[in-house]
Every structure is written in C-alpha cells, then in structure tokens.
C-alpha cells in the first residue's frame, strides 16, 4: 500500500487524494517529530508562567479573558472538544472526513501548533486503522475554521463519540480504538484548540473537487465534440490560430481537445448541404470559450489550494523564536471564494451542455435528426424527458452557484463577527460536481444516439471509440422507447468513473 510521509512543509494534493480516497498509510517524518517536540517545549514553558497566554492558559473566543488555573487546564481542553462537537444533520462522506483529519495532521506536524508528538501519532494511527469519526453536515461557519467537524474528529481521538470502523459499521469510538490497540489521548494545554482551529474540511473538499473537475472538463470537451458531429457542425472554429489571438490557456486547451477528438470525422463541415448555415449556434461554436474559462478558474483554484496545502493554520501559533501569537489565519475566505467561483463555472458548463442537448432533440434546429431522437416520433417520445431531467439539474446548479462566501453570520457573542461560510461553499460544490456529471451523461447519451442516426457518414475514430465503450457499458443505442432511467444511470457511472475520457484517450493520446 502507498505510504504518505508527513513532514513540516505541508503536503500535496496527491497526498490528500491518496489518504482520503485510496486509504494510503501515513508516517510522520523524523523532522516532523522533532518540530513537534520543540514547539511543545515552548508551550510547556509558557504554561508554567503566571501570565495568561491565549489558548494555553485562558478560555477561548469570547471567554478568552478568563485565566485558567493549572489544575483545570486538562478539563478545559476536553471541554472545548466536547462542547464544540455540536454538529447536526446527515453524516459527511468518509473521504471528506479522512481528508479533514489528514489535513489537520499536516498542520499539527508543521511545528507551529504546540501539540505533543504522541497526539500527532494517534491521529495517524486512527487514519491507518481505517477508523472514521462521525461528522455531521451542519456546524461550521468556516471561521474559526471548521470547528464542529474537527471537534467530532478530536472527540474520536479522546475515545468518545461515535466512529465508523473499517467494516463500515458505526460504533462507539472507544471500542474501535481499543480493538486496534490505540490509547485515547489525554489532551493538555493548547491541544484541544489546536485540533479544532483550521480550514481543513473546506480545503479537503476543494482538493477532491479539483481532481473530479479535471476529469469532467475533459469529458465536457468530448461530449461537446460529439454534439458538434451530430449537428454536422464545423470544426474550423477549433483551429489553433483562432485561439492563439485570444490566448486564454484554458480556451486553447479545450479547442485542442475537441479538435483531437474530431480528427478524421466525416460528419463535420456540412454547413452548405441540405440545411445551409453560415455559423453554428453559440452552444457549439463557443464551447471552447466557456469550457476554457472554467479551466482557467480551475487553475486559479488550484493555486489557492497549493498555498493552503503548504500552510500551517492555527490560532495561536508557535513561532520559531519562541513566541506564541494570536492571528487570523484560520479565516476561510481564500478557500471559500474559489469554492464559490468553481460552482459558478460548473453551472455554466452544465448550462451550455444542456443547450446542445436541447438542440439535438429539436427537429427545427438539429439539421435532419428525428424529433427528440425518437424511433417513431409521436408513438415514441424519445429523449424528451431526459432533457427535462438535464434541465432540472441545470436549474439546481444555478441555485448552487449563488455564493456562500458573500454571506456572514456573527457568532461567539460578536467576537467572531465576520465568518467565511467556506464549509457551506464546499458542501454545495460537491453537489454541483455530482450534478455536472449527470448533465454531461445526458449529453453523452443524446449525442451518441444522434451520431448513430447519421447513416452513411462515419464519426471520428475517437468519438466512435467513445460510443462503442458506452454501449459496452450497458447504455443502449437508438430504438423504440424503453425504461430510460437505467440507461441514464449507466451513462452517469461511465462518465463519473472516467471511462469516457479513457476510451477517447486510447485513440487520441492524453487530452490537455
């Protein structure tokens, strides 16, 4: 099994995906263990002083004015975890919780939090044992970090609350720790706060969304190319020299992908046949511009994610010169903004895909295709309601594109009076990514059927490979009406698992 070594300088997106999705094992580097011990020494020295130090010998948030005596400090750390583990609603997905815990461990190992090495090792041991704390949908305002979700994870480290075992069964966390030989941690000064105070949940969801969207944007280039073929459109608009004079990198990449997918097609360029036209509709002709703008949005979001992955997010932080300083680095605004930005790009990509699908089904605009791609229009409804489903998904995506980060709701007796709502932005982006997958699956379903109805003209080798692969996946081709939902579900899985991209890349080579 792949092993991820956590040091002091952060982790990569690949590390996050390996731990969250693939169950990679975690090891702490010697450098990290040394940094943990050094920072802990600083915290212990401050804890021994009579002067109050925030997070070490005081209360938290609006209660930070109270100096806590030494005999109550362990209780204080336990209490902050218990009281902050106040989430409600459905359980959050296992991969999200694993990403959340791993990214908190990344910050702990930076040597800026003052957590003891044994606490960090316990975090790694819990992840390596396949134990996943139960974390709930609601509870984070994205400032101070993802407090409630991280508190539920810290509760598991203490042997309290509920967690899911490697067998998928939810049980008391103490039982699971005991079965795997893991001793619950007894938190000391600052450790409870350090385990809760970060943007790790929203960052983990951003990293996974970026990976999913990288594949989906390639899928969108493929479905757009299929629709262009089915509509007898022209590929001349994809010429590199046209995109070079508006040099947005994403636009050029999208156009290059579509051109590669369409190479060798007999279906393109029939503008002056039976239904002459000068130009294709915007949804076809401007596909690279829209998808390309989304790709550039991904690039910006990836830059933000890389900066966060290299960051140590906590408050207060331990500095190399021995100071423990309060700060505002836990605020989720940088991550929240790009999560919302991605949701806008996702909604627009889905919207243009739905417009192409609608064009394929409309006999007045499809250039010779049967109404709704039906076998016997009137007796058969064809894909009429598949487009309804797609339209409903697009409408939902437009609602999900409304930014969460433009909102703020004060908390903690007005001490935390401006929050990021980044967790909410991340949760709705996950839904948006799921729905984009479904929208592209419907376009694939319609466009592949439409291409097959163009008798006498051969599609490009790459699009033919895509059609052949989706048929082998159990998605049926043209014919009389049938129970459509299973076909659409199979197309969804085909796109979601990256098999559409794989089928095409087997012909074209790697897409951009």
Q: Cα(233)–Cα(52) distance, rounded to whole angstroms?
A: 72
Identify each DSSP E strand in 53-105 by its residue range: 88-91
Q: Does 316 sit behind a cis peptide bond, omega within 30 degrees of 0 on the bond before it? A: yes
Q: Is 324 helix (H, G, I), strand (E, B) or coil?
A: strand
Q: Does 369 sit behind a cis peptide bond, omega within 30 degrees of 0 on the bond before it? A: no
Q: Cα(435)–Cα(107) distance, rounded to whole angstroms?
A: 32
Q: Is 435 helix (H, G, I), strand (E, B) or coil?
A: helix
DSSP code string of 171-236? EEHHHHHHHTT-PPP---TTHHHHHH-S-HHHHHHHHHHHHHHHHHHHHHHHHHHHHHHHTT--SG
List the end-to-end C-alpha distance of the chain, in Å, as a whole number. Answer: 29
Find, among 467, 449, 448, 442, the residue nearest to 386 by Cα: 442
**Are 428 and 343 contacting, i.e. CB atoms less than 8 angstroms apart?**
yes
Q: Cα(393)–Cα(440) distance, rounded to whole angstroms?
A: 11
Q: Is 67 helix (H, G, I), strand (E, B) or coil?
A: strand
Structure-token pair, residue 100:
């959340």
**Are 315 and 107 contacting, i.e. CB atoms less than 8 angstroms apart?**
no
Q: Cα(289)–Cα(302) distance, rounded to whole angstroms?
A: 20
Q: Cα(11)–Cα(98) distance, rounded to whole angstroms?
A: 14
φ, ψ for residue 4 (rounded to 5)?
A: -105, 125
Angle (CA) 235-240-241 rounded to 5° is: 110
Q: Cα(443)–Cα(346) distance, rounded to whole angstroms?
A: 15
Find, among 292, 275, 440, the residue nearest to 368 by Cα: 275
Q: Is 6 helix (H, G, I), strand (E, B) or coil?
A: strand
3-state DSSP helix/strand/coil % of the chain, to nearest 5: 55, 5, 35
In the residue annotation, 282 being an active-site residue is answered as: no
Q: Cα(331)–Cα(314) distance, rounded to whole angstroms?
A: 10
| 25-28/3-6 β-pairing | parallel
Of the candidates 54, 138, 217, 388, the residue annotated as catalytic is: 54
Active site residues: 54
């Amino acid at each position: 099994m792949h092993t991820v070594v956590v040091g002091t300088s952060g982790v990569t997106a690949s590390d996050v995906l390996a731990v969250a999705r693939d169950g990679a094992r975690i090891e702490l580097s010697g450098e990290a263990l040394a940094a943990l011990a050094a920072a802990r020494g600083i915290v212990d020295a401050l804890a021994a002083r009579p002067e109050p130090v925030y997070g070490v010998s005081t209360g938290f948030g609006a209660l930070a004015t109270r100096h806590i005596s030494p005999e109550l400090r362990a209780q204080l750390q336990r209490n902050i975890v218990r009281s902050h583990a106040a989430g409600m609603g459905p359980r959050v997905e296992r991969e999200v919780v694993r990403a959340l815990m791993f990214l908190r461990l990344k910050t702990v190992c930076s040597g800026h939090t003052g957590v003891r090495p044994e606490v960090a090792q316990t975090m790694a041991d819990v992840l390596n044992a396949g134990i996943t704390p139960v974390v709930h949908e609601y509870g984070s305002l994205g400032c101070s970090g993802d407090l409630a979700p991280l508190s539920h994870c810290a509760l598991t480290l203490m042997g309290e609350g509920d967690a899911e075992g490697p067998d998928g069964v939810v049980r008391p966390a103490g039982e699971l720790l005991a079965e795997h030989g893991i001793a619950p941690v007894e938190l000391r000064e600052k450790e409870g706060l350090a385990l809760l105070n970060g943007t790790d949940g929203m960052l983990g969801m951003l990293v996974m969304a970026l990976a999913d969207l990288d594949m989906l944007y390639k899928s969108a280039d493929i479905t757009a190319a299929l629709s262009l073929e089915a509509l007898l459109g022209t590929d001349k608009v994809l010429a590199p020299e046209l995109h070079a004079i508006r040099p947005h990198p994403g636009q050029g990449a999208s156009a290059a992908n579509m051109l590669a997918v369409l190479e060798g097609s007999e279906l393109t360029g029939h503008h002056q046949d039976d239904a002459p036209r000068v130009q294709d509709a915007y949804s076809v002709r401007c596909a690279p511009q829209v998808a390309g703008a989304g790709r550039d949005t991904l690039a910006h979001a990836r830059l933000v994610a890389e900066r966060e992955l290299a960051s140590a997010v906590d408050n207060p932080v331990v500095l190399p010169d021995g100071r423990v300083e309060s700060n505002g680095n836990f605020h989720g605004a940088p991550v929240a903004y790009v999560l919302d930005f991605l949701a806008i790009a996702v909604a627009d990509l889905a919207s243009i895909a739905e417009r192409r699908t609608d064009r394929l089904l409309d006999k007045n605009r499809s250039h010779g295709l049967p109404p709704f791609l039906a076998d016997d229009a009137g007796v058969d409804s064809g894909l009429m309601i598949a487009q309804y489903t797609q339209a409903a998904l697009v409408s939902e995506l437009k609602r999900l594109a409304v930014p969460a980060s433009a909102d703020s709701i004060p908390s903690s007796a007005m001490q935390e009076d401006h929050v990021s709502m980044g967790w909410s932005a991340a949760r709705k982006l996950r839904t948006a990514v799921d729905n984009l997958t479904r929208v592209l699956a419907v376009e694939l379903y319609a466009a592949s059927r439409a291409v097959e109805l163009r008798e006498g003209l051969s599609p490009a080798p790459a699009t033919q490979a895509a059609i052949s692969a989706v048929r082998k996946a159990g998605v049926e081709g043209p014919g009389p009406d049938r129970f459509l939902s299973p076909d659409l579900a199979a197309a969804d899985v085909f796109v979601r698992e990256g098999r559409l991209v794989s089928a095409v890349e087997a012909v074209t080579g790697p897409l951009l």
